[in-house]
Amino acid sequence: MGLGYVGLPLAVEFSRAGFDVVGIDVQQSKVDQFNRGESYIKDVKDSVFKPLVESGKLRATTDFSVIGELDTIDICVPTPLRKTKDPDMSYVVAATDAIAAHVHPGLLVMLESTTYPGTTDELVLPKLEASGLRVGQDFFLCFSPERVDPGNAKYQTSNIPKVVGGITQACTEMGALFYKQALETVVPVSSTRVAEMVKLLENTFRMINIGLVNEMALMCDRMNIDVWEVIDAAATKPFGFMPFYPGPGLGGHCIPIDPFYLSWKSKESGIEARFIELAGYINGRMPEFVVEKIQYALNEASKPVRGSRIHVLGVAYKRDIEDVRESPALDIILLLQHLGAVVTFSDPFVPRIRSNGEMLESKELVSGVKSADCVVIVTDHTGLDYASVVEHSTLIVDTRNALKGFRSEKIVRL
């Protein structure tokens, strides 16, 4: 249920394992594309997807009554934040209500959407038990965090260990048995709350470490120290250190969002999640810092930012993917537009974006670079011709160290 970055690859893995799989989504256009055998997720190749759809073993529908015929259901719907940084549980609630209307004896329900500890037992369970069926006996309920890393060629849905925790021991056993049919490694834990917290620990760990290294970058900038060289040298320590890299800010549907599910919930227990708030503040300030860097670099070249042509390289939130959700590039572009700059962009994965009420189309790399007063590398996609970027630009602000190894007066690094 929910055929996005998480649901589609999962449906494919279970179909490949020989199961009859039905994907359910509320978007008719997505369902139609699915049923034509056209993958809209880059990590799922049409060569794998199409034959499964054509075999009739994998299909999609917007008709929720199909739940009445299913043995298992995985909820993979969005869990965004509201503007106030509170969890928006409306998708999970809608999905659960749809299941509750069709819950039947023997059904195994898995929640995979990232969420705060307690969601499965406090929010999902009562809705399903309202049917009169008992969990652990009549139906089974688990939480299993999705850990997929879009664009990662080595670790994908099938070989990322799957943590699963049930409401009861029987639920955990049922959930583990289910995932073992299609995935390489299953890690059972004692409860849904442990499983929910595992995901939040992982993503909070990343968010805070990125916050720390971004603060290091701000300090190094003032002290005129190359933060990238510092990290590379520190990473030679064979124990007790793990490198994280600074950048223009956090993006995607996970790292900037998930930790706030935890800080929101921890307030209920009287604990203020200070590390999360602090890292959130520092990471959230990075787009402004990048814009300051651009202004400073243009100033050195005696050009005011107002009226300058600025070409952004990469608008996806990370390298080699097409996802622009929460991308810091969008913040940087908007800030530059507000300052009166004329902004263009190139991204091989993203054809167009909307900013400040305007539709911007991705430009051809070299012509975009040639016509700009300043080029800003926001996403370090691999396979871009960085040598040409350096050759044809007059000024470059590199927020990702994509030009490591290039030496030129016109390169300004984060």
Ligand X SMILES: NC(=O)c1ccc[n+]([C@@H]2O[C@H](COP(=O)([O-])OP(=O)(O)OC[C@H]3O[C@@H](n4cnc5c(N)ncnc54)[C@H](O)[C@@H]3O)[C@@H](O)[C@H]2O)c1
The reply to whether 411 sits near ligand X by the rule CB under 6 A is no
Phi/psi for 358 (5° steps) reads -110, 145
Widest CA span in the chain? 74
* Binding test (CB under 6 A) with ligand X, winner from 11, 67, 99, 148: 148
Give whichever of 113 and 379 is closer to ligand X, judged by the CB atom. 113
Binding range to ligand X, per CB under 6 A, among 5-13, 379-387, 390-398, 402-410? 5-13
User: Could you say whether residue 390 binds ligand X (CB under 6 A)?
Assistant: no
By the rule CB under 6 A, 348 interacts with ligand X: no
Distances (CA, A) of 158 to 42, 72, 88, 162, 332: 16, 18, 29, 9, 36
Count of alpha carbons within 13 angstroms of residue 220, beta-carbon side: 16
**Tokens 């402004």, located at residue:** 288
Residue 126 CA, chain-centre distance (Å), reads 29
Q: How many residues bind ligand X (CB under 6 A)?
A: 27
**Rounded CA separation 27/102 (Å):** 20
Q: Are strands 396-398 and 374-377 parallel, antiparallel or unpaired?
A: parallel
Please say which residue, 2 or 249, places its beta carbon nearer to ligand X: 2
Which one, 193 or 253, has the nearer CB to ligand X?
Answer: 253
Q: Which is nearer to ligand X, 122 or 300 (CB)?
A: 122
Q: Work out whether 265 is an interface residue with ligand X (CB under 6 A).
A: no
| 3 forms part of the interface with ligand X (CB under 6 A) | yes
Q: Which residues pair with 143 in a beta bridge?
A: 111, 165
d(CA 234, CA 214): 15
220 is known as an active-site residue: no
Minimum distance, C-beta of residue 386 to ligand X, in the bound complex (Å)? 26
Report which of 145, 157, 141 is spatially closest to residue 116, judged by C-alpha positions: 145
Strand, coil or helix: 136: coil
Residue 130 is encoded by which pair of tokens? 């309202």
Residue, CB closest to ligand X: 4
Of the pair 73, 332, the CB lying nearest ligand X is at 73
DSSP secondary structure, 46-107, as one string: HHHHHHHHHTTSEEEES-GGGGGG-SEEEE-----B-TTS-B--HHHHHHHHHHHTT--TT-
* Min separation Cβ 252 and ligand X, Å: 6
Pairing of strands 396-398, 108-111: unpaired
Q: Does 260 bind ligand X (CB under 6 A)?
A: no
Q: Of the two residues 4 and 51, which places its CB atom closer to ligand X in the complex?
A: 4
CB of 287 to ligand X, least distance (A): 21
Choose the binding region for ligand X from 24-32, 170-178, 265-273, 288-296 (rule: CB under 6 A): 24-32
Q: How many CB atoms lie within 10 A of CB 202?
A: 17
Under rule CB under 6 A, residue 350 binds ligand X: no
Choose which of 10, 30, 360, 372 interacts with ligand X (CB under 6 A).
Answer: 30
- Residue of the chain from 146, 326, 380, 398 that contacts ligand X (CB under 6 A): 146
- Distance of closest approach, residue 143 Cβ to ligand X, in angstroms: 11
Among 171, 254, 350, 365, binds ligand X (CB under 6 A): 254
Determine, following the binding rule CB under 6 A, whether residue 17 of this chain makes contact with ligand X. no
Task: Considering only residues 57 through 96, tell me which ones interact with ligand X, judged by CB under 6 A.
Answer: 76-79, 91, 94-95
125 in the Ramachandran plot: left (φ > 0), alpha (ψ -120 to 50) or beta? alpha
Among 49, 119, 157, 253, binds ligand X (CB under 6 A): 253
Distance CA(12)–CA(264), nearest Å, equals 34
Can you tell me which of 13, 25, 74, 326 binds ligand X, judged by CB under 6 A? 25
Binding mask 97-116 for ligand X (x = CB under 6 A): ----------------xx--
Helix (H, G, I), strand (E, B) or coil at 225: coil
C-beta of 6: minimal distance to ligand X in Å?
4
Angle (nearest 5°) at CA 321 between 46 and 244: 140
Which is nearer to ligand X, 121 or 202 (by Cβ)? 202
Interface residues toward ligand X, by CB under 6 A: 1-7, 24-27, 30, 76-79, 91, 94-95, 113-114, 146-148, 150, 253-254
Active site residues per annotation: 254
